[in-house]
Amino acid sequence: MVLVRQELGDVLRDFRLQKGRTLRQVASKASVALGYLSEVERGQKEASSEILASVADALETPVSVIMREVGDRLAVLEGLEVPDALPADFGERFSARSAGERRADLVAH
């Protein structure tokens, strides 16, 4: 079974290591307990959206980039083809619609 929390933890650790930061540095900057962040990185704890936003900020990485990487990794684990980029008309198709319409369109594609 594929666990989102495991992939999210792996992605957060990978970004942290790419930035050359220690767990202690990121936890401190994000105002998150060191032990808790360690458990999130190991996939043992779920990160709330608030915690994720704080950690992303501490890593100077947009949450959307982190979640895109998680999604891409999940797709690979599920045996799906991962596109290199969003469709060229992505912004045009979704910018003029309501949030509900955008969600419905995303689900349909």
Tell me which of 24 and 93 has the higher pLDDT: 24
Query: Does residue 97 belong to any structural domain of this protein?
Result: no
Q: Are 52 and 66 in contact (CB under 8 A)?
A: yes
Is 102 within the bounds of a domain?
Answer: no
Tokens of 36: 């808790």
Predicted confidence (pLDDT) at residue 83 exceeds the cutoff of 90: no
Whole-prediction pTM value? 0.74
Q: Does 90 map to a domain?
A: no
Phi/psi for 52 (5° steps) reads -60, -45
Domain-embedded: residue 78 = yes
* In-domain check, residue 95: no
What is the largest distance, in Å, between two alpha-carbon atoms of the chain? 43
- At a CB cut-off of 8 Å and minimum separation 6, what does 7 contact? 43, 70, 73, 74, 77
Domain containing 69: what range?
4-84
Question: In this model, does residue 16 exceed pLDDT 70?
Answer: yes
- The answer to whether residue 108 is domain-embedded is no
Q: 62 lies in a domain?
A: yes
**CATH code, domain with 25:** 1.10.260.40
User: How is residue 89 annotated by DSSP?
Assistant: T
Could you tell me if 50 and 108 are in contact, meaning their C-beta atoms sit under 8 angstroms apart?
Answer: no
Specify the number of domains making up the chain: 1
Q: Given a cut of 80, is residue 77 above it in pLDDT?
A: yes
